[in-house]
Structure formats: C-alpha cells, structure tokens
Amino acid sequence: MTTRGNDLSGKCGACRRKVSQGTGCEDCGLWFHWECSGTNSDLATLPWYCNSCVQAKVIKKQEKTILSLKRELELARTEIDLLKGELNLVDNCPEEFRTVSNSRRKLKKVPSSLDVKFALTNRFEPLAMLGPQTDGDAIDQPVLEAKPKRKILVLGSSHGRGIGQRLQKAMGDAYAVTSIFKPNADLSNVTGDIGKLCKGFSKEDQVVIVGGPGNSLERNLNYQIEKDLSDIAQKTSHTNVRFVGLFWRHDKPWINRCVREINLRLERSLVEVGAAHIDAIDVSSILRSEHTVHGLHLNPRGKDKLTRLIAESIKGRHIPVVMGVQNHFLG
C-alpha cells in the first residue's frame, strides 16, 4: 500500500511529522516517510509492513509455538507417569514383554505360618475347636489354607498400558491381576503366547485382551479378525476371555468405517458355539474427550472408564466355559 503523490494527509507513524510522500503499512494503515520506512519509491508497488506490525506477527507466531509445546509436554508427562508404574517384568514371561505384576506391589514375601501344624496338648481347650481327644494325647490342628485368588491376565498393545493397575484396584484382593503389553503389536503378536500364559487358568479366571486389532487393521484395511479369534478360542477353551472392541480412531477418522465393520464381525463371530467362553466389551461409549490430544490412545479418564467396563463385565455375568467344542466362526 504505497504512494508517491502529494495528496496524503496525516502524520508519519515514526517521526509524527506530516507525510506528503511516503508509503503506508498494509496492516495498521499508518503512513511513513520514505526515509522513516527505510525503503524508497522504487518499491512503491510492493506490500510493505511497519516494524511494529512485523514484531506483532512474530510474537503471535511464537505464542502459538509455545502453546503447542506446552500441550506436547503435558502429553509427554502423562505418558512418563504411566511408564514409571509399569517397569516390572513377570518372571515366567518372555523378556520383551513389558509387565505389571499388581499383586506383588502391595505384598512382600514373608514366611507363612499357615503351612505349620501345631500340636495342642491342653485338654481344656474348647472341644468345638479341637475335636475329640483323650487325656495326654496330642492333637494336630487342621492346617488352614488361604483361599486361592482368582487370576486375571491382561494382554494388549499400547492400549493396555496402565489398565492392569487400575483393574487390580477395581477388582480388589480376591483377584491377582497381571498385565502384559507389547507396544505397536498386532493382534496375532499380542496373543501369540496366550496358551502358555493361561495354561493353569480355570473357569474362575479371566483373560482380558485390550488392543491389537487396531494395529492389524492399520497395516491392512482388508484385515479379517476371524482367523485370530479362532486361534484365541482354541487356546483358551478352559477359561474365560474378555475381548475389548476396537476403539474409534480420532487421529485417522477415515479408518472408522473399517473399525465399525471389524466390531460387527467380532460380535457376529462370538455368538458361535465355539466362542461361548469369549465375551466382547463394547467401548463405543468412550468419548473423544477421553482420548489423548493426538486422538489415538485413551487419556487417564478414558482408561478409568475402560477399567470400569472391564470390571463390570467380569463381575456382572459369568461366561459359561465350553470344553472340547470345535470352534466355528463366520467366514
């Protein structure tokens, strides 16, 4: 916005003297003498900005950069806090697995007195406690055995990070929760050792699968979940499985059509007789605000909701275990 004519009025934005010839700032509209603007009449046809407006633009850009960095720092701190709580390794699991053994966090190994038999010779002890005895005879008190805890194994990709600790707290001391997650792993890698890891499980125990299908789908939009489900069902027919559905991809919303299709195929497949011991957990109620800024993973509030959904599924309904039944999935 420039001119060289004598028809200008007003004062120079720099020296405050009247402007007869000069150039005007494109942003603020103030006029400047040629010498005050630091330019000349040869550049009269080009857009020009005064120093104040240039500095204001630089400051505004820097403020946006600082705000973006603050958001990234907050996200990084959240991820670090989650990682700090998950540095333990399960002794009988492959070394590459990141694990959380929640039952060992609160309990220290101490000698147990429950395995010791006590000889009681006091015949004045209450008979209801000691049972029939004769004078001078020593009677062994029956050994008290602690009720074994029900086991929960959480397997997952990065979506499973932090779920183990939360689930242990939600389920209480009657359960022993072990969490194993493999970041960026597809479903076949997440559940590759599921048969070995739950070998000693019974129909009172649970396996929870969190994540994996999403990575499989991202690598292949034509991913079919039935083959992986069939393998999981065969290896876990002696126990119960809770299969968390695929999460909405807020970072890549164009994938959500495939996510919806995979979740429908999951529901259809699990109604078959061979998958009666597997139950799907619907996560469609988890909102965008319960995901991290980038939209892929759950934030702490979202993980708390997911934990409640898992705990309600385990406590609310027992899944019948079908033994020795061939698995059939929809093709």
| Contacts by 257-264, CB closer than 8 A, 24 or more apart | 258/217, 258/221, 258/223, 259/214, 259/217, 262/213, 262/217, 262/223, 262/225
Answer left, alpha or beta for residue 38, where phi above 0 means left and psi between -120 and 50 means alpha: left
For strand 150-156 and strand 139-140, is the pairing parallel, antiparallel, or unpaired?
Answer: unpaired
Average pLDDT across the chain, whole number: 75
Walk across the sheet containing 22-24 and list its strands.
2-3, 22-24, 31-33
One-letter amino acid identity for 295? G
Percent of the chain with pLDDT strictly greater than 90: 13
| Cβ within 8 Å of residue 133, ≥6 positions away | 123, 127, 139
Encode pLDDT of 268-317 as tens digits. Answer: 777 764 567 888 898 889 998 898 888 888 999 999 999 999 999 898 75
Encode pLDDT of 154-203 as tens digits. Answer: 998 888 888 989 999 999 888 999 988 888 888 888 888 998 999 889 99
Q: What is the pLDDT of residue 86?
A: 59
Q: What is the pLDDT of residue 153?
A: 93
Whole-model pTM: value is: 0.53
Give the residue-averaged pLDDT of 143-151.
72
Under the banding of pLDDT at 50, 70 and 90, the label for residue 8 is: very low
Lookup result for tokens 């109620």? 285
CATH assignment, 97-105+147-316:
3.40.50.1110
| Cβ within 8 Å of residue 234, ≥6 positions away | 327
Residue 207 has pLDDT above 70, yes or no: yes
Under the banding of pLDDT at 50, 70 and 90, the label for residue 135 is: very low
| Cβ within 8 Å of residue 191, ≥6 positions away | 155, 209, 212, 228, 231, 232, 235
Q: Are 259 and 211 in contact (CB under 8 A)?
A: no
CA distance 35 to 244: 71
CA distance 208 to 163: 10
Q: Are 95 and 188 in contact (CB under 8 A)?
A: no
Same fold, 2-64 and 97-105+147-316: no
Domain range list for the chain: 2-64, 97-105+147-316
Region of poorest pLDDT, from 1-10, 80-89, 103-112, 297-306 = 103-112
Q: What is the pLDDT of residue 22?
A: 82
Give the residue-averaged pLDDT of 73-97.
65
Q: Are 215 and 175 in contact (CB under 8 A)?
A: no
Q: Are 125 and 139 in contact (CB under 8 A)?
A: no
H and E: helices and strands count for the chain:
11, 11
For strand 206-210 and strand 150-156, is the pairing parallel, antiparallel, or unpaired?
Answer: parallel
Q: What is the pLDDT of residue 66?
A: 92
Q: What is the pLDDT of residue 101?
A: 45
**Angle at CA 269, nearest 5°, toward 263 and 274?**
145
Q: What is the pLDDT of residue 307?
A: 93
| Cβ within 8 Å of residue 330, ≥6 positions away | 226, 265, 268, 269, 272
The listed range with the strongest mean pLDDT (12-16, 117-121, 164-168, 258-262) is 164-168
| Cβ within 8 Å of residue 45, ≥6 positions away | 2
For the record, the structure tokens of 224 come out as 């079919």
CATH superfamily of 2-64: Zinc/RING finger domain, C3HC4 (zinc finger) (3.30.40.10)
Under the banding of pLDDT at 50, 70 and 90, the label for residue 118 is: very low
Integer angstrom CA distances of residue 15 from 10, 21, 208, 324: 12, 14, 74, 94
Integer angstrom CA distances of residue 327 from 25, 86, 310: 76, 35, 24
